[in-house]
A and B are shown apart, each in its own frame.
Chain A
Amino acid sequence: MSAYQENFFTRGPSPLARLTFFSLFAIAVMVADHRFQALGWVRMGVSAVLSPIEFALHWPGTAARKLSAYLDDQQRLVAENRELKEKLLQLSSASSQAMLLRTEQAQVEALKGTAQRFAGKGQIAEIIRDARNPYARKIIIDKGTRDGVEAGRAVIDGNGVVGQVTAVGLLSAEVTLTTEKNQSVPVMVLRNGLRAVAVGAGREGTIDVPFIPVGADIQTGDQLVTSGIDGTYPAGLSVATISLVDKNTSLSFAHIVALPMASAGSHRLVKVLTQEELASYPKPDTQADDKKSPPAPGGRQARRVPAEKR
C-alpha cells in the first residue's frame, strides 16, 4: 500500500507557502546583511563568479577607449602634457614644503608624545564602472582582497577624497562616493579649522554640510578638508568647496551646500589608502561604544562627530 501513498501529481508546497517561506528568508537575509553585515562571504563568492563575466563584458568598451586614446589628437596630448608638467612643478614645490611641515610636525608630535598621523602610501586602482543602480553613488574599482584592499579604506584621487571602500570582492571592490546619500566625512574648514560633517546629498555632485549654526564663520569658497577625527580618512585631504551658504536666521542651522573636489566621473585612476598609515588610530571596536559596525559605513561613525563636539 505504501507504494501508492505518493501523490500522482507531485507538486510540493503551495505557491503561498513557498512565498511565505522565501519572503521570510529574504527578509532574514536583508536583516543579516544590513544590520549585522554578516553576509560578506556570500557577496565574495558570487562576485568571484560574476567578476570575470563582467570583465569580459567591459572588454569591448575598454578596448575602444584605449584605441581612441591611441589615435587621439596629438595636439591635445601635447597640451595635456604641458598642463600636467605645470601641475607637477606646482605640486613638487608644495610637496617639499609639505615634507618640511611633516618633519616639523613629527618633531612636535614626538615632543607631545602623540602618534604620527599621516603618510602618503596607497595603492593605485582603476575605476571599472559605476554601480548598476541608478539611485546609488558607487563605483567599482579593479582591486580586491587579492591586492589587499579591505572594507573601510579611504579612496582619493588627484583632487581629493573620492569615498570609502564599502564592499570587497576577490578582484574588485565597491567604493561609496562622498555624494551618496547619508555618506558622511568629518571635515574642517581649511581657513579657520571649524569642524563639520560633509554629508552626501544623494544627488550628483552635491554635498550638504548640516548642523552648522547660523552664526558660524563659514562662507562661499571655503575649502573643506578631512579633519581626521574618525580614523578612516587621514587629516588634510580636500573634500569639497562651499558653493552656497544660506544663513536664514529663522532656522537654527545654516543651509550649506558644497561641491566635491574629486570627480569620479572624469577620472580613471584612484588611490586606495593603505591601513598602515592609519594604524595609530584607535580601532572602532576598541572604542567604548555599543555599535559593532566595522569602519565600513562611514556615515554611522561620522554621524557621531557632532555629539563629540558638544
Chain B
Amino acid sequence: MDLSPASREPMRPPAPARLVIFSLVVALVLNLLPWHGWALQIKPDFLLIVLLYWSTHESRNVGQGWGFTLGLVMDVADSVLLGQHALGYVAAIFLVQLLRLRLLQLSILEQAMHVGAIIFVSQLVNLLLNFLLGQDYPGLAIVVPPLLGALLWPVLNFIVMLPRFRQRDPVTFMG
C-alpha cells in the first residue's frame, strides 16, 4: 500500500515566527538598498515575493494585514503616495489566497509562473494609480520585475527550506 503523501507538498511543520519575521526584514532591507538608474527599473520587489511566499505557506498567520502594513512602510521608503504599495500588496496577497490550494499542488516552476502573473497584477495596480496621478507610461521595462520575481520564487523556496530542515525542535508560534 502506498502511503506517500497525496500532494507533492510533503507535510511540513509551521515555520517558526522568527524565520517569517527575519525573512521579511531581509526582504525589506534588500528593497531599501540604494538602487539607482536601470537597476531600479528592473529591480523585483523582494518584499512582495516574500510576502507572497508566506501567504502561500503560512496562510493562517501572514495575510493581507501584513501586506497592507508593509506596503505603507514601502510607500514611505519610496516616497510615493501613501497606500499605493499597500493596495498592490493586498491585491496580490488576495490572489494568492484564492489560488493557494491550487498553487500548492503545482511544481515549483508552475508556481513561479503563477507568482509572476500575480506580481504583474500588483504592478498594474501601481501603474494605474500613477496614471491617475498624471505620470507617464514608464515603458516596457515594467515587464521585467515580475519576470525576475518569478525567477526568484524557486530560489526563495530553496533558501527558506534550508534552515527549516535542520530545525527539528518543536516550533513556537506567533498569535
- Per-residue B-contact encoding for A30-45, CB less than 8 Å = 1, 0 else: 1011100001001100
Number of interface residues of A (CB under 8 A): 41
A170 nearest CB across to chain B (Å): 12
Per the 8 Å Cβ criterion, residues 218-236 of A in contact with B are none
B52 close to A (CB within 8 Å)? no
Chain A, residue nearest B130 (CB): A135
Contacts of A32 in B (CB 8 A): 82
Contacts of B56 in A (CB 8 A): none
Q: Of A16, A26, A131, which is within 8 A of B78 by CB?
A: A131
Chain B, residue nearest A131 (CB): B79
Q: Are B91 and A30 in contact (CB under 8 A)?
A: no
Instruction: Say whether chain B's binding surface is mostly helix, strand, loop, or mixed.
Output: helix
Q: Provide the bound-state CA to CA distance between A309 and B34, in Å.
A: 43
A244 close to B (CB within 8 Å)? no
Q: Of A26, A136, A138, A182, which is within 8 A of B86 by CB?
A: A26
Number of interface residues of B (CB under 8 A): 41
- Per-residue A-contact encoding for B81-110, CB less than 8 Å = 1, 0 else: 111101100110010011000000000000
Q: Are A26 and B83 in contact (CB under 8 A)?
A: yes
Per the 8 Å Cβ criterion, residues 122-157 of A in contact with B are 129-136, 138, 140
A109 close to B (CB within 8 Å)? no
Contact A133 to B80, CB < 8 A, known contacts A19-B91, A26-B68:
yes
Contacts of A34 in B (CB 8 A): 81, 133
- Per-residue B-contact encoding for A73-108, CB less than 8 Å = 1, 0 else: 000000000000000000000000000000000000
Q: Provide the bound-state CA to CA distance between A208 and B129, in Å.
A: 24
Among the 9-residue stretches B2-10, B35-43, B160-168, the one with 4 or more Cβ atoms under 8 Å from chain A is: B35-43
Chain B, residue nearest A169 (CB): B76
